[in-house]
Amino acid sequence: MVSFKLSSFLALVSAAAVLAVPASAGNATAIDIQRRATITTSTTGTSGGLYYSLWMQSNGGATMNIGTNQYSLTWQTSSQDVVAGIGWNPGSAQAITYSGSFTPNGNAYLSVYGWTTNPLVEYYITDSYGTYNPSSGLQQLGTVTSDGGTYNIYKTTRVNAPSIQGTQTFSQYWSVRTSHRVGGTITTSNHFNAWKALGMTMGAFNEQILATEGYESSGSSSITISGGGNGSPNPTTTNPATTPTSPPSTGGTVAHYGQCGGQGWTGGTVCASPYTCQASNGNVSLLNGVDAVSDLISL
């Protein structure tokens, strides 16, 4: 398990700078907790057929209780950074249905969290968060509508940072829901497809959990997973993903990767130098410069 923490809450430029710490660090071990329902140290394993992970930066200050398809977590500021959840290893492009409660006091996230390898990517599909928006300071690349809500899409790069493969440089992807919720279905394939359409490549699935993360905060959560995984029913969404869109132009001159035309477009049509408008396909808007929604177009 690798957790990301913000290096500084007060500087937006560091909002994307998060520390990744592998679950294998410290005293993390892989165990089967069929005979143990409460854990208080950094640990990964399986319970009732589901993968679980608890990671703490300070290895203290948090307690995770695991039941059938369910976990609860309480944490204190003494844990510094804590990430806990249940799910699968490896994960997949699946619909994950969950319910429960999420009560943070400070900075915390409730997300589908996971990794892929080759390429190495860390990703978050965030349904709710506490006092700090994890996308603060990041450039929005587009949006995706899924499961009754709209998610803003972001990408950043971690340079020489700890990961599930040791110290590496890797991409970090975010889908952050614009209206908070705790419970429902997260159709991960909608996000993965939207990311791919924006040129955000993924690799082979590694771990994937419905995670609670708290950084220098306190709080509690209790989450139950009722659908998802191999052989489990994957509920369908009533609002399938739409084609990802670029943020709208705010003037007559369109910035790099901004929309500059298309059916019904009423914004700017002049691209900032040295870029020119390029059409992708009939299902997406016109983009200037490199087409980040479809195939790469040479300038």
List the single range of 1-5, 21-25, 193-197 with lowest mean pLDDT. 21-25
How much is the pLDDT for 13?
A: 31
Most confident of 17-21, 40-44, 184-188: 184-188
The residue extents of the domains of the chain are 12-227, 246-299
How much is the pLDDT for 261?
A: 59
Indicate which residue of 2, 213, 222, 225 is catalytic: 213
How much is the pLDDT for 37?
A: 76
Active site residue 213: yes
Instruction: Give this prediction's pTM.
Output: 0.68
CATH class of the 12-227 domain in this structure: mainly beta
How much is the pLDDT for 219?
A: 97
pLDDT at 113 over 90: yes
Burial of 158 (0-12, 13-18, 19+ CB in 10 A): buried
CB atoms within 10 A of CB 274: 8
Indicate which residue of 81, 122, 127, 207 is catalytic: 122
Residue 104 CA to its chain's centroid (Å): 18
Active site residue 122: yes
SS percent in the chain: helix, strand, coil, step 5: 5, 50, 45
Question: Is the pLDDT higher at 283 or at 170?
Answer: 170
45-103 residue pLDDT tens: 999 899 999 988 888 899 999 999 999 999 999 988 999 999 999 999 999 999 999 99
CA distance 127 to 180: 6
How much is the pLDDT for 11?
A: 34
pLDDT at 272 over 70: no
213-262 residue pLDDT tens: 999 999 999 999 998 865 333 333 333 344 454 444 434 554 544 555 55
